[in-house]
Structure 1
Amino acid sequence: MGMSVTISAAAAQDAEQILKLQYLCYQSEAELYGDYTLEPLTQTLDDLRAELGRSHTLVARLGEEVVASVRAAVDEAGTARIAKLIVHPRMRRHGLGGRLLDAIEAYAAGEPAARRFQLFTGHRSEGNLRLYRSHGYVPVATEQIAPGFSLVTLQKETPVKEYAASA
C-alpha cells in the first residue's frame, strides 16, 4: 500500500528541505526564461528562515519528505500574498498544487484582515497560469521585469465571511 501525501504547517526544521525543493522546482522556470538568477534560486537558508518567520507556510509530505510547499502572508491592505507554490517534479500533474493552493487560501481566508488573494507568475508559465485560472484567479497586472520576462499578477476576492448575529 502506498503512502498518502499529508499537508500541514511547516516547522522550523523544514527550512532546509524547502530550500532544496525550491531550488529543484525553479530550474524549469529558469530554463523557460533563460534566467538562473531568479530570487528563489539565489535565496539563502537564512533568508528563507526569515521569510518563513514572516509568513504562514504549508508543506506537503510523502512520509518524511517535503514534496511541495506554499507560503502566504496578509498585508496591511488586506491582501493575502501567496508565494512560491512548489511541487516536486515527480509529484506534478496529480492535483497536489491545487490542494496546497486550496489549503493556503483556507488559512488566509481565516485571517480577519484578508479581503483578497493575490499571487504572480511568469507570463510563459502556462501550467501555473492554467492552475491559477482554474481556481478563480484573474490577471490584474503585468509588469515587465526584463526583456522577454514579464510577471503576471493574478487576484481573486476572499469568500464572503459570515458574521454571527449577537443576541
Structure 2
Amino acid sequence: MGKIVEATVNDTCHILNLQKLAYVSEAEIYNDYTIMPLKEDLETAKKSFEKNIVLKYVEDDVIIGSVRAFQEDGVCYINKLMVHPACRNRGIGQALMEEIEVKFDPVVYRLFTGAKSEKNIFLYEKLGYSVYRTGKFDFEDTEFVFMEKEQRPV
C-alpha cells in the first residue's frame, strides 16, 4: 500500500523520469513524441515547484505517481497527473486527484487532457469533471478537451 505526500524540489529528477515514462502512452495515441511532457527539462520541472503544490504517490520508497496544481483567481489548475505504466488501474490516479483537490479552498477545478485520451477523460468524468471547451495550444498540434468542476463549500 502506498502513501501520498507532498513532493519537494529534491524529488524533481525522479518525478521527471516518471513523467517521461508515463507520457509515452499519450504520445503513442497521437503518434507525436514531441508533446510537451516528454520535452520538459529538469530546470523547468524544478521551477514548477515555485508555483505548484506537487504531490507524489510513494510505494516501497519509489515514486510511482504524481500530480501538480496551483490556484489563481479562484481557479485551481491541475496538471501533470501521472502514474507509472506498470501501476495503472489501481486507483492511484484517482487518489492523487482527490488529495490534490483538498489542498485548495473551495474553487473551480480545471484541467485539460488530449481529446483522444479516453481513459483520462473517463477518470475525470468519474470524478465529476465535464468538458467546457476543446482547443489547441500554440506549441502543440494535439487537440485537447478542457474540463472543470465546481467544488461547493460543505
- What range is the shorter-chain TM-score in? over 0.9
Residue segments in structure 1 that go unaligned for 5+ positions in a row: 162-167
Is the 2:76–2:110 contact (alpha carbons within 8 Å) kept by the matching residues of 1? yes
Paired position in structure 1 for 2:41: 44
Paired position in structure 2 for 1:59: 56
Letter in 1 for 2:152: P
Of residues 137-146 and 54-63 in structure 1, the stretch that sits farther from structure 2 once superposed is 137-146
Superposition TM-score, scaled by structure 2 size: 0.94
Say whether residues 1:97 and 2:70 are aligned partners. no
Letter in 2 for 1:31: E
Shift in Å, 1:119: 0.4
**1:142 pairs with one of 128, 134, 147:** 134
The total of aligned residue pairs comes to 152
Is the 2:8–2:49 contact (alpha carbons within 8 Å) kept by the matching residues of 1? no
Is the 1:139–1:155 contact (alpha carbons within 8 Å) kept by the matching residues of 2? yes
Structure 1 counterpart SS, 2:38: helix
Paired position in structure 2 for 1:9: 6
Shift in Å, 1:116: 0.4
Is the 1:72–1:108 contact (alpha carbons within 8 Å) kept by the matching residues of 2? no
Structure 1 counterpart SS, 2:20: helix
Structure 1 counterpart SS, 2:143: strand
Is the 1:120–1:151 contact (alpha carbons within 8 Å) kept by the matching residues of 2? yes
- The 4+ residue runs of structure 1 with deviation greater than 6 A are none
Q: How does 1:112-127 map to 2 (within 5 A)?
A: 115-127=107-119
**1:33 pairs with one of 30, 33, 55:** 30
Shift in Å, 1:45: 0.4
Superposition RMSD in Å:
1.3
**Take 1:38 and 1:159, find their aligned partners in 2: how far apart are those partners?**
34
Superposition TM-score, scaled by structure 1 size: 0.87
Paired position in structure 2 for 1:82: 78
Letter in 2 for 1:6: K
**Take 2:98 and 2:152, find their aligned partners in 1: how far apart are those partners?**
12
